[in-house]
Amino acid sequence: MERRILGGTGISVSELALGSMMFGSWGNPDRQEARKVIGMALDAGVNLVDTADIYGEGGTEEIVGEALRGRRDDVVLATKFHGPMGPDPNHRGNSRRWIMRAVENSLRRLGTEHIDLYQVHGVDPDTDIDEMLSALSDLVRAGKVRAIGTSNFPADQLVEARWTAERRGHVHLRSEQPAYSILSRSVEMHVLPTAQRHGMGVLVWGPLSAGWLSDADATPGKGRAVLEPRRFDPGVPANAAKARVVARLRELAAEAGMPLTHLALAFVQAHPAVTSVIIGPRTADQLSDLLAGAGKVLDDEVLDQIDEIVPPGSDLNPADNHSVRGLLADTARRRRPTPRRSARQEARH
């Protein structure tokens, strides 16, 4: 399997990385099978394993740690923090207080002395970037973390983080992990060019668009459909549009002589900013199918046809843009406070 250097770190990572979100209570609760899948991936040449503290409420990190016993030195281990790990509002986010506790929890669950890539799993509007980078830099200097990165960050936050690190003497962010697929291409506009311009590695997640670009997960009761059922509700107009597009992509994949899953992987690998593509199998059979797609290349004619089906820089469903979805969810972030009654309220009185 081809290797690439992650964001100027000198760390060599495989072109396909193993995502672990489907191991544990969020996907496949069979720990023995999960460990088997991880072993199969490593045997096939995958050396980057990605997880997060929030997956399975910490249980997924434990599964990954168990599977890597005896093989830890051969693996580039990445995990993430940010999401809520309990009802306490201080047990989430990007504050120094939480980072210092979260990293110790992850190290314990993973059964390791260091994390190769520690990633911020989302923007925290309540925490200064300087505060976040200061804490992460201390972890690098203490040897608990080798490199730091982000996930689901918009381009402006990546630029601000770089500006802050240069002026405050912090460790630079070395990677970004965005959602990217044929059906969700908005990161082509700003996130991918920004990462490329500043020498950041890019670890793509969701290349199969939560199962839409495969037959594996996009059914009720399976995989991402359990976590986000509305993303598969045929009554949602955006989902109906996706279904029509997927039908056309299946025809294109057949003409190109490959399964749709392989077309989807090859598409995201074609972008020059992408370092590694994270695959998230739930079973050994799914892993075998995805591994068979490693190294496949799409010619310009096929890529041009994809551009005609889904225009560059566009999302079929705006809700798939994870780098802004969280920021816009809270209405208080985008509306001025209104101490006086509105015109409509006045009219009612």
pLDDT of residue 221: 44
Is 340 part of a structural domain of the chain? no
The number of residues making up the chain comes to 349
Is 348 part of a structural domain of the chain? no
The answer to whether 175 touches 200, Cβ cutoff 8 Å, is: yes
pLDDT of residue 344: 61
Q: Which amino acid is at 318?
A: P
pLDDT of residue 324: 65
Is 219 part of a structural domain of the chain? yes
pLDDT of residue 325: 61
pLDDT of residue 270: 97
If one counts the domains in the chain, the total is 1
Catalytic residue, chosen from 55, 98, 118, 180, is 55
Q: With a cut of 50, which residues of the chain have pLDDT below it?
A: 217-221
Is 91 part of a structural domain of the chain? yes
Write the DSSP string, 122-190. Answer: S--TTS-HHHHHHHHHHHHHTTSEEEEEEES--HHHHHHHHHHHHHHTPPPEEEEE-B-BTTB-GGGTT
Is 347 part of a structural domain of the chain? no
Is 263 part of a structural domain of the chain? yes
CATH code: domain of residue 129 = 3.20.20.100
Is 256 part of a structural domain of the chain? yes
pLDDT of residue 220: 43
* pLDDT digits 0-9 by tens, 102-143: 999 999 999 999 999 999 999 999 999 999 999 999 999 999
Q: Would residue 180 show up in a list of annotated catalytic residues for this protein?
A: no
DSSP 114: -
Is 232 part of a structural domain of the chain? yes
pLDDT of residue 274: 98
pLDDT of residue 317: 84
Domain extent, residue 28, equals: 3-334
